[in-house]
Structure 1
Amino acid sequence: MAISKERLHELLGQLTDKDLELVSELVERLSQTSTNREIPLDDEPTTQDDLDAINQAREAYLKGELISLKDIEHELRN
């Protein structure tokens, strides 16, 4: 989705001071990152602990044990 700077400016005007702080941190990080956004290949072997964590996450997902986006937003803003 393309967004104009004008539209982004409108959206920023609708945010609370607390939300602006969060958005400002994100924009600062994005503006400081290199234009080369390639992620290096992870060459570390997958451990048994990694596999166990993946399986536990999959089981939790299948059981519906999820965190809602609303809860995550609440945690980030408070």
Structure 2
Amino acid sequence: MIQTNYHEDPQQLHINTEKNRNYYIPFSPEQDAFAERETSHRFVLLNGSWNFRYYESFQDLENNFLEINQYNEIPVPSNWQLHGYDVP
């Protein structure tokens, strides 16, 4: 059984995570595998403006948090501490 404060337990670091693997970007057979990785049809650059909601704690989540459409916005790559949320 996982405790509700598992994030505070240093023995519980890898709950619901993928196993470690090599980092690679696959190319389709018709593509040049030696080209820049951004040219792969299977590469998606995640840079841009992202919507998010900041909570002091997971205990502050509303019961219907998936239905709430009010977001803050930050640029990615970045982190929310550099944009006034929480402290670095």
The TM-score, its normalising length taken from structure 2, stands at 0.25
Higher helix share: 1
Bigger relative contact order (CA 8 A; separation at least 6): 1
Higher strand share: 2
